[in-house]
Structure 1
Amino acid sequence: MTTESGVNRRRGQAANKRVLINPQGLLLVILVAGGVLTALVGSTAFSKISDDHSLGPSSTVATTTTTTPKGTSLVDCTVQTPINNGTSTTTGVMHITVRHDLSPSASNIFIKLVEARHFDGVFVFRVLKHFVAQFGVRHEGMETLPAMDPKPTVKDKDDVHDQTLSNVRGTLSFAGGNPGTTQVFVNLGDNTRLDKENSRPFATVDDQAMMQILDQLYTGYKDGMGQVKTMKLGESAMKQQFPNMSQIQQCRVVIKAETVITTSTTTARIKA
């Protein structure tokens, strides 16, 4: 016959087995349930499935979650082009299809730049016939935008070894393949030689915009005519010095690619 004092004694012994004080005075609570061993030390949790003995007596499990856009995003950029030495203007819209599968880093940074209004008001400062139309440098006097977090750097380059789209007419790339420049160019002709210079396309412009807007850009301002230097003097100086230079009025994300959440788990052995 089991006495009440005997039951209480065994309960006390069982409780003592579950509560231990280590030499540093930390409380270690061990709970065993459904084959899963969970140990809580301070605020750090370690988990292990007890029937997996390949990792030793105990192990840590680290879970990493990443979010990446998948598929395509659509961006519309309104372009204003002066005619007759700036006495009048025409306006059109470039419909840009951003391919996140082609250049993940470049495409993601481009979308972030658009959302940050980086391209609003910038000049298409470099237009070379049958070659490129380049923009992305903000001139003096433009509104200071919040810093991007993280800021694009040269480290954000995509791997060119698995490039699936060449620099053909109608494609967009970052200058030098480096999103850190925040400058993009549209290929006005087939420039596959740029593939070797690490310029990896991440988007395309619709054919109608190519013919009606980009093919009509003024090409009389050659490299080295002081475009970048004049930008430091502000918008008025740019329009006075380069009256036929086109300007991006605004760029907006029309459709944003679906975001895919990926979770990876890493398990490492620790000493018992």
Structure 2
Amino acid sequence: MIVSFALVFLAAVSSPVSSGGFAAFVTAGGESVCVVDGGGETVSAVDAEIGERLSYPALSELRLVYVSSTRGLVEEDIISGESAVLSAERTGAPWFSSDGDLWYTFDGFLYKNGVSTGVEVPAFYVSVENGVAVFTDRSDRLHIVSLISGEGRVIQGLRYFSPVVLAGGDVVVSSLTGEIVFVPAGGEPVVVASGEQPCWSYRSGGVFFCVSSDDGHDLTAADLWFVKPGEEPVQVTFTEDILETKPACSGDLVWFLDAVADSPNCMRTDVSAL
């Protein structure tokens, strides 16, 4: 396994999102949204204005979209720095599907590229891919909905949050009790590991996630693990001073954040040998 690190010293606290060779994340307190490249260099930094808070970045190629507490849903070109307000209303978190379409919710409905689909999605966070939308409701149940047929199903039993639908219709989702759950398209949910902050790697064919350890009182470490459905989890990183990691997958790179260190940083590890 090839494991190499690059550090970007920023007060990063949000889970990163990645696209191609870039990763984006919000820094402490929503003060800015930063985009870094595969070499760890900052290519774009959007600073909040006085009284403004930035959150929920989404990234697709050179397009960065985020939520502003004062301006609404905003898009920024990470090269030119030009920005535009996509919606002045209070929308849900933005999401880019792999084909570059922008999805978000507003007033209980799902929007695609600024136009309502007419599909009811009563959730703040939604993930969409290849005509399938996934979200959780107020009772923490998982909804999987076909945007083509309108048919859907509800999965319960655990309290789910932050689901992500994959290209083939499979779903990766966390539970509030610390399980990483894989739901094959049309199949039943399977707990594949215990941990948090899962992200699916198409290149590796499995899930990267964080596992924390403690001494009974305080967190002592948090490391990156990997699991393929049906196999045993394997540990990828071995650290002593990282107390919280939040991974995001992009090709052979997995980005993750040391979110609570005295000098927080964004790191990346090459997992091409997995």
| Greater relative CO (CA pairs within 8 A, separation 6+) | 1
Do they fold alike, i.e. is TM over 0.5?
A: no
Greater strand content: 2
Greater helix content: 1
Query: TM-score scaled by structure 2?
Result: 0.21
- Give the greater-gyration-radius structure (CA): 1
